[in-house]
Structure 1
Amino acid sequence: MKPVVLCIVGAGGSYTPEIVEGVLERQGLTVAQISLTDTDPDRLAVMAGLTRRMIAAKGARIAVRESADLAAAVAGADFVVTQIRVGGMAARQIDETIPLRYGVIGQETTGPGGMFKALRTIPVMIDIARTIAAIAPNAFILNYTNPSGVVTEAVLNHTDARLLGLCSSIPLLQHRLRRQLAEAFGAVEIASVGLNHLGFIHQITAGGEDVTRAAIAHLNERYGGGDGMFASALKIAPLLGAIPVEKYGDLYFHRRAEYEAMALAERTRAQAVMDIEAEVLAEAADPAVQAKPPALTRRGGEGYSGVTFDTLDAILNDRGARIVMSALNNGAVIGLPDNVAVETVCHVDASGARTLPVGEIPLAYRGLVQAVKAHETLTVQAAVTRSRDVALQALLAHPLVGDIDVAEPMLDDLLAAHGLDYQ
């Protein structure tokens, strides 16, 4: 296996040490060079310095290159991790607060907030992907830029780039369930269907037998009844016949409680993350720090590195691994168009990712998934065409909005706040 050249776009972000740690800890992986690029030179310098110290502390021989020029950074890359945030946390603060004024959940990856993150991000990610496709046409883009599924759909339909949409939410849930079900059911296979941040564990099999209902009952008996996100997902699982992805499922199935909690909170999540990221950067800039900054444990993103390197390993070694990620549907999920992104189990080998057949989405949540997917596809169209009417259609289509008297003024407020000119 030839040594790998890995590029991180948005390397000034707080998750970069997770990727570097993964490079240093992954057995059987030889990385010759890590290339870092970011539009913020100060953050780039901090993370480049930490990266070099982490490598030196492990006694590894990996070259580190940093550049503000994207084309120079991606030249020769085999894999490019994209983790950009257009507008930074200030834009996230707008996305989280304006919807609340209209009685709507404000969240950065779904609803109005997720839509506006996509509207800002899609044009930039398309430009980045086109540059990568031109400079390093054989490179795979491993995308974590949110909203990941929407970005995946936009890039794959509007560029020639080889992009895979990654997220740790469902893979971490699968890992937890395998561990929790092992004693009662032995080794289990766990399938999922849905969209990024709207996924459902819809089938659990053991010894070739479908044990989904029994597994859900067992999990509720052992782990239900609490107040955590997992307990909340388990509470509705018997009704749905599936386990929704933690945290994000509550935005739909407990939307009133979620809205009230956000409206009454003294601080937004954006404000909390701003403080955490300031700590991460301060720790990363300390010459004495030679490992992942301790403050990063409060940032979230558990499993980020694992999914990245499982995918990288599957491609490099042509493993045909089964990994949940976002990819174009191409007939895998009946009832959704071929050219939209779905998040489901994919076959991952040297050629990339291919969705595996799923069939129909169970009726209990089919309409919800189809409605959110319509919203996402309209959002991609709005970002590409800069059409206000299409943007309004997208906002109106989202199940968390669904009211033209709310959608229209909220759209105009958000467009103005972000300085977006849609005609």
Structure 2
Amino acid sequence: MRPIVLCIVGAGGSYTPEIVEGVLDRPGLELAEVSLTDSDPQRLAVMAGLTRRMIAAKGAKIAVRESSDLAQAAAGADFVVTQIRVGGMAARQLDETIPLRYGVIGQETTGPGGMFKALRTIPVMIDIARTIARVAPRAFILNYTNPSGIVTEAVLNHTDAKLLGLCSSIPLLQHRLRRLLAPVFGEVQIASVGLNHLGFIHQITAGDEDVTARAIAHLADGATANDALFASALKIAPRLGAIPVEKYGDLYFHRRAEFEAMASAQRTRAQAVMDIEAEVLAEAADPAVATKPPALIRRGGEGYSGVTFDTLDAVLNDRGAKIVMSAFNNGAVVGLPDDVAVETVCHVDASGARPLPVGEIPLAYRGLVQAVKAHESLTVQAAVTRSRDVALQALLAHPLVGDIDIAEPMLDEMLAAHGLNYQ
């Protein structure tokens, strides 16, 4: 690899140490500079200080630059990681609690909560992407800003920026499956299809043999008995003929249990994360800390840096690697438009990401994926046009809502709570 400049947008976020650790631990990665930018100067200063200490502790020669000005920070970058949260955790708290009052799951990346996060985020990400395309035209944006698939679709349709929508959920699931299946099937290839946070492992092959059904049966037969989260996905897998992505699949296939758990919980996930992030920031601000803060383990995001630098390496060195990410469909998934974002196995090289041909989504979950994709595309339209009618259509299209007597008052309450003026 040639020496590169990496810019992190939203660098005051708690995941920044994960990226920095990945930079320092990645063999063969030559980094000339890390440029950090954030709208919160205090958080930016804390993470910039920790970044410098982590680099110094490793004896690395990497310059660290920080600026609250995006154009200045991103100028000349080769890669830009975006990880912003518009409205912060206070907005997430609203996204999680308001839908519950209407009998609907409140979650930050899907359903009404995910939609409102997208409505707040898309205009900001479009502006960011346009700025990056102007000051760093060769840069690829590696996006983790949620909801990643919807943000990817918005940016690719409304800017000239080169953006790849990353998420560690499916790549981590692939890694775990390879490890679990190796003793029985040897080396396996694992394909997926769907959308970000609505993905399905739909094909597992060993050599030239399709072993999907046998592999699912093996896994469901107790291979993961001590993993409650994985066991939940495997409960539905034999019926679907595919393994839904962990945690997020439960929102659709165990929705009543998920709603009841959220409605009866003493604290929301947003409140728990607020406490964790405060702890991460306190640890990061300690001059004696020169490693990734221990509290970050409880924040989630495992595999974050691995996916980032696998993608960076594939682009920079024209690898032609196969990595699951969100990109324009362009005919790969039959039954979805070309200009929507799908999350599937992509061929990743110096030109970016190209989804590999999938064909039709299996009928067992085709309708679910198509309905959620309609919701996502309507959400992009609503964010760009600021149309209340389109936003209502987006809520009605989502399988977790679909009732105008619920959707309309919930929409108006959430618009008012977030200060969004839609006509």
Common fold: TM-score over 0.5: yes
Instruction: State the distance in 2 between where 1:202 and 1:115 align.
Output: 26
Counterpart of 1:274, as a letter, is M
Q: Detail structure 1 runs of 4+ shifted over 3 Å in the superposition.
A: 224-227
2:283 alignment counterpart: 283
Give SS of 1:260's match. helix
Give SS of 2:49's match. helix
What are the equivalent positions in structure 2 for 1:163-182 lying under 5 Å apart?
Answer: 163-182=163-182
Instruction: State the distance in 2 between where 1:199 and 1:229 align.
Output: 15
1:307 alignment counterpart: 307
Instruction: Say if 2:32 is the partner of 1:45.
Output: no
Instruction: State the distance in 2 between where 1:299 and 1:51 align.
Output: 19
Maintained 8 Å contact 2:202/2:242: yes
Deviations 1:220-255 (A, max 9, x none): 123355561100001110000000000000000000
Counterpart of 1:120, as a letter, is R
Q: Which runs of 5 or more residues in structure 2 are unaligned?
A: none
Instruction: State the distance in 2 between where 1:198 and 1:177 align.
Output: 18
1:380 alignment counterpart: 380
2:131 alignment counterpart: 131
Maintained 8 Å contact 1:322/1:345: yes
Instruction: State the distance in 2 between where 1:157 and 1:223 align.
Output: 43
1:146 alignment counterpart: 146
The structural deviation recorded for 1:206 is 0.3
Counterpart of 1:184, as a letter, is V
Instruction: State the distance in 1 between where 2:340 and 2:130 align.
Output: 19
Instruction: Say if 2:85 is the partner of 1:85.
Output: yes
2:255 alignment counterpart: 255
Counterpart of 2:190, as a letter, is I
Instruction: State the distance in 1 between where 2:316 and 2:103 align.
Output: 48
2:7 alignment counterpart: 7
Instruction: Say if 2:398 is the partner of 1:398.
Output: yes
Maintained 8 Å contact 2:180/2:223: no
Give SS of 1:213's match. helix
2:342 alignment counterpart: 342
2:417 alignment counterpart: 417
Count of residue correspondences: 423
1:321 alignment counterpart: 321
Instruction: State the distance in 2 between where 1:54 and 1:116 align.
Output: 36
- Are the structure 2 counterparts of residues 307 and 189 from structure 1 closer, same or farther at C-alpha, using a change threshold of 3 Å? same
The structural deviation recorded for 1:55 is 0.2
Instruction: State the distance in 2 between where 1:413 and 1:191 align.
Output: 40
2:351 alignment counterpart: 351
Deviations 1:268-306 (A, max 9, x none): 000000000000000000000000000000000000000
Give SS of 1:248's match. coil
Give SS of 2:142's match. strand
Q: Which runs of 5 or more residues in structure 1 are unaligned?
A: none
2:22 alignment counterpart: 22
Instruction: State the distance in 2 between where 1:11 and 1:208 align.
Output: 44
Give SS of 1:318's match. coil
Counterpart of 2:322, as a letter, is R
Instruction: State the distance in 2 between where 1:300 and 1:4 align.
Output: 28
Give SS of 2:60's match. coil
Counterpart of 1:255, as a letter, is R
The 10-residue stretch of structure 1 (223-232 or 73-82) with the greater mean CA deviation from structure 2: 223-232
Instruction: Say if 2:53 is the partner of 1:59.
Output: no
Instruction: Say if 2:117 is the partner of 1:117.
Output: yes
2:72 alignment counterpart: 72
Give SS of 2:278's match. helix
TM-score, normalising length: structure 2? 0.99
Give SS of 2:98's match. helix
Counterpart of 2:44, as a letter, is L
Counterpart of 2:70, as a letter, is L
Give SS of 1:20's match. helix
Give SS of 2:300's match. coil
CA RMSD, 1 decimal: 0.7
Instruction: State the distance in 2 between where 1:327 and 1:123 align.
Output: 19
Identity over aligned pairs, percent: 87
Give SS of 1:337's match. coil
Maintained 8 Å contact 2:9/2:38: yes
The structural deviation recorded for 1:68 is 0.3
